Structure 1
Amino acid sequence: MDLGLAGNAAVVTASSSGLGKAAARSLAEEGVNVVINGRDEERLADAVADLRETATGEVVGQQGDIGVAADVEALVERCVDEFGRLDHLVTSAGGPPSKATLETTDEDWYDAFDMLVMSVVRAVRAGADHLRADGGGSVVNITSMSVKEPSSTLVLSASVRMAVVGLEKTLSRELAPEVRANTVLPRSIETARIRNLGEAAVERGEYDSYDDVLADRAADSPLGRLGQPHELGDVVAFLCSERASYINGSAIPVEGGVSRSNL
């Protein structure tokens, strides 16, 4: 499906790996000019080279820390300088530590809020005027299904990411009608991090093979498998497009039916 995105410009935060990179890839393959971002210069350069192999739009990298306001502003400025516009802002961030509630410190909570919530606030502040220009654009936040189905060991993710959903819902009214804002809620996606954790578990003797790891992780999935990063990325690209022009203020699960929640 041609999403009609060719020639648009997008910023994707925390996108040198993982689901942010998957979103950037799907956009770039649709002809979007994309600025990706990461803290590690070498990994960022590798990601740019990798994405360019399949991109029909341009891909450039901007090193920076989404926890630093000036770096986020520079990321938006790079997009406008390179491509003359900003049509889509996709926010992503790494996951906070896996801990139970009584194991977390005040510093853990403040760090998680800064990484997951304030990084989005900073990006929207920097990009809002550009997003509103030239007919409007979109904001898509990549969060987690933990906001719907929390785990006792993921209290930081489940609690703090809820603020991103609340922010997105508020933005869907504040920035409308020029800009639409939505959230995607991934779960059970086979990212590089999942592969690394699985391979480490095999090395420790917890599983006989990586296939056994995948089978265990997918045991509760109605589809019988984990999702692939591009399946999340394609949903992000769709939400950025005019094909999704009446989807605004929504939090959309991308998890293969694993969730048992009705809503």
Structure 2
Amino acid sequence: MDLEIDGNAALVAASSSGLGKATATALAREGANVVVNGRDEEQLEAAAEDIRAVAEGEVVAQPADLTVPEDVSALVQRTVDEFGGLDHLVTNAGGPPSKPFKETTDEEWYDAYDLLVMSVVRLVRESVDHLEAGDGGSIVHSTSHSVKEAIDGLVLSNSVRMSVIGLEKTLSRELAPDVRVNAVMPGAHKTDRMEYLIQNAVDQGEFEDYDEGYESWTDEIPTGDLGSPEEFGNTIAFLLSERASFINGEAVMIDGGDARSNL
């Protein structure tokens, strides 16, 4: 299916690894011009090179810390300067620490809110005028399966990420019809973040080894394995495109059927 986003300008936050990188890759492969972002400049440039190898559009690397307002402003402005506008925004951020409630400090709560919620607020605030100026912009917020179903040991993600879904639903009505806004809630995928969570559980004595930890995740997924980052990126690319023009204000689970919630 041709998504008809060739030549469009896209910004994908936190895209130097994991699902963010997979998303940027999917957009670039479809011909979009993409700005990728991360804090580690060496890792970011390596990711940009990987994406350029398969890209049909241009790929620009812009380092930024999403918790620093000036960095966010510069990130959006670089996109507009490079490509003459902004058509698609993907908000994304790394996950907060894996800790139980009793061991989580006030500072960690505030840090998680700044990373997961205020980064989204700032990205949208800086981008919205540019998105509205085009022929029809779109936003996808990448959150987590933990929004729908709490994950043991992830009290910060379980609690804080829900704010992004409330914002997404509000924006989908405030910004329509010029800008569509949706969210995705990824479950377990084959990423470095998932390797960290599994190894952390092993280190805490929950599993004897990594293989046992891996199986504990896949055993509950009806499709039988962790998700493919490439397929995840393709889903976001579709949601951003005009092929999904009647999808607005939705929060889409991408978890292989893992969640047991009816809603």
TM-score bin (small chain): over 0.9
Does the C-alpha gap of structure 1 residues 251 and 197 become closer, same or farther in structure 2, counting only changes over 3 Å? closer
Equivalent residue of 1:252, what SS? strand
Opposite residue 175 of structure 1, the aligned amino acid is L
Task: Report if aligned partners of 1:214, 1:225 keep a CA contact under 8 Å in 2.
Answer: no
1:45 correspondence with 2:45: yes
**Which residue number in structure 2 is paired with residue 184 of structure 1?**
184
Superposed CA offset, 1:225-248 (max 9, x none): 110111111111011001110111
**Does the aligned pair in 1 maintain the 2:31–2:55 contact within 8 Å?**
yes
Q: 1:193 to 1:40 in 2, by over 3 A?
A: same
TM-score if structure 1 supplies the norm length?
A: 0.94
The code of the aligned residue for 2:208 comes to: E
CA distance in 2, matches of 1:71, 1:12: 14
The reply on whether 1:219 has 2:219 as its aligned counterpart is yes
Is the 2:98–2:197 Cα contact (8 Å) retained in structure 1?
A: no
Letter in 2 for 1:206: E
Q: Please give the secondary structure, in 2, of the residue aligned with 1:233.
A: helix
- 2:107 paired with 1:107: yes
Aligned to 2:73: 73
Question: Deviation string for 1:8-65 (max 9, x for gaps)?
Answer: 0011111111111111111111111000111111001100000011111111100110
- Structure 1 residues 82 and 168 mapped into 2: Cα distance closer, same or farther (>3 Å)? same
Q: CA deviation at 1:191?
A: 0.6
Superposed counterparts of 1:118-129, under 5 Å: 118-129=118-129
Give 5+ residue unaligned stretches, structure 2: none
Amino acid at match of 2:185: L
Equivalences, count: 260
Overall identity of the aligned pairs, in %: 60
Distance 1:119 1:197 in 2: 23
Q: 1:199 to 1:120 in 2, by over 3 A?
A: closer
Deviation at 1:151, TM superposition (A): 2.6
Instruction: Report the 3-state secondary structure (helix = DSSP H, G, I; strand = E; otherwise coil) of the residue aligned with 1:60.
Output: strand
Shift of 1:102: 2.3
RMSD: 1.8
Give how far 1:120 is off: 0.5
Q: Distance in 2 between matches of 1:21 and 1:76?
A: 17
Normalising by structure 2, what TM-score? Answer: 0.94
Q: Any gaps of 5 or more consecutive residues in structure 1?
A: none
Offset of 1:215 from its aligned partner?
A: 3.4
2:85 counterpart residue number: 85
**3-state SS of 1:190 partner:** coil
Whether 1:31 and 2:31 are equivalent positions in the alignment is yes
Partners of 2:194 and 2:110 lie apart in 1 by: 26
Please give the alpha-carbon distance, in whole angstroms, between the structure 1 residues aligned to 2:214 and 2:55.
29
CA distance in 2, matches of 1:195, 1:5: 33
Deviation of 1:198 after TM superposition, in Å, equals: 5.4
Return the alpha-carbon distance in structure 2 between the equivalents of residues 195 and 114 of structure 1: 24
Alignment partner, residue 208 of structure 2: 206
Deviations along 1:137-178, whole A, 9 cap, x unmatched? 111000001011113411110111000000111110111110
Q: Which deviates further from its counterpart, 127-136 or 97-106?
A: 97-106
In structure 1, distance between residues paired with 2:192 and 2:214: 13
Contact kept, 8 Å, 2:18 with 2:191, in 1: the verdict is yes
- The C-alpha deviation readout for 1:118-151, integer Å capped at 9, x for no partner, is 0000001110000001212111000001011113
